[in-house]
Amino acid sequence: MIYKIINESDRQRCLLEIQNMQLGEYQVIVEKVKKKRTLDQNALQWLWCKEISEQKGDESIIEIQRINKLEFGCPVLQEDLDFFLFYQNQIAPIPYECQLKIMDYISVTSLMTTKQFSKYLDDVFAYWTKQNYTLTFPGDFGLDNY
C-alpha cells in the first residue's frame, strides 16, 4: 500500500491503516518524494536536439536525442545502483548502434529528478558547445536555474 502524504488528513489516514493492521511481518518505507524534471527542462532538451540536428544536417532530432540519452542521461542515472546494474548487464554489452536504438524503448530522462536533469542538461550543453555547436543559452530560454 502506498500513501501520498501532503496534509494532516493524509497522515492520519496512513497512521490509522498501520494501527489497524494484523500483527505480522511488514516493511514500512517512508521517503520524501523527489521532484521530477520540469516541463521547461524537457522543452529545453528538445530545443537543443533540434538546434544540433539542424546544424549537423545529417542526423535527425530523434537521433540526437538517442545520443544524448545514452551518452549523458545513462551516466547520470547510473548513480542509482539498480539502474547501474541494469545498464551494465543489459545495455553495455551490446554494440553501440544497438544501444542507440534501445534508447527509444527505455525511460531515461523521464526517470530523472530536477537535480539529475540539471546535471544532464549541463553535460549535454558542455559537450555540444565544445564541438562548436551553438545552443540556446538556458537563461535566454527563461531558465536561469534549470
Q: Where are the domains of the chain?
A: 39-141
**Phi (first) and psi of residue 36, to 5 degrees:** -75, 165
Is a pLDDT exceeding 80 seen at residue 34? no
Is a pLDDT exceeding 50 seen at residue 63? yes
Is a pLDDT exceeding 80 seen at residue 4? no
What HEC string does the chain produce?
CCCCCCCHHHHHHHHHHHHCCCCCCCCCCCCCCCCECCHHHHHHHHHHHHHHHHHHCCCCHHHHHHHHHHHHHHHHHCCCHHHHHHHHHHHCCCCHHHHHHHCCCCCCHHHCEHHHHHHHHHHHHHHHHHCCCCCCCHHHHCCCCC
What is the pLDDT, as a whole number, of residue 101?
A: 97
CA 145, CA 89: separation in Å to the nearest integer?
35
- Stretch 118-136: mean pLDDT, rounded? 96
What is the pLDDT, as a whole number, of residue 142?
A: 63
- Stretch 67-92: mean pLDDT, rounded? 96
What is the pLDDT, as a whole number, of residue 31?
A: 73
Is a pLDDT exceeding 70 seen at residue 21? yes
CA angle 123, 119, 127 (to 5 degrees): 5
- Stretch 87-98: mean pLDDT, rounded? 97
What is the pLDDT, as a whole number, of residue 5?
A: 79
What is the pLDDT, as a whole number, of residue 146?
A: 46
